Amino acid sequence: AQKITQTQPGMFVQEKEAVTLDCTYDTSDPSYGLFWYKQPSSGEMIFLIYQGSYDQQNATEGRYSLNFQKARKSANLVISASQLGDSAMYFCAMREVTNTGNQFYFGTGTSLTVIP
């Protein structure tokens, strides 16, 4: 089974509008972390936001917020007031505890295009 599922290969959003990128995950580990990364065409993976499994409140970082629904095992990224510079690939990732320590899993990514 896929550990991280991103069902939107590509998304378009109008500049200044909000957009939600979907992410669902699968784990039986009670202690896990969820991450979102942005990867522009230059290639660098840029950390955006983190949600711990025990965090009571949804994480927010500036224009980024994470809609964490633990029972549904979803961790959607919401970008408010989209900017042209937000056009990039977005990866959802999960850190899970394994016998050898932490293991990271990445989703297949969502390509976001912001339209002027």
When asked if residue 1 is in the footprint of other proteins (CB under 8 A), the reply is: no
Judged by CB under 8 A, which stretch of 18-26, 58-66, 78-86, 99-107 contacts other proteins? 99-107
**# of chain residues touching other proteins (CB under 8 A):** 27
When asked if residue 104 is in the footprint of other proteins (CB under 8 A), the reply is: yes
How far is the C-alpha of 24 from the C-alpha of 35, rounded, in Å? 12
Between 18 and 90, name the residue whose CB sits nearer to other proteins: 90
Between 15 and 61, name the residue whose CB sits nearer to other proteins: 61
Binding mask 4-43 vs other proteins (x if CB under 8 A, - otherwise)?
---------------------------x-x-x-x----xx
User: Which segments within 1-116 are labelled E, that is strand?
Assistant: 4-5, 10-14, 19-21, 24-25, 32-39, 46-52, 60-61, 64-69, 74-79, 88-98, 101-106, 110-115
| Torsion sign over Cα 80, 44, 5, 56 | negative
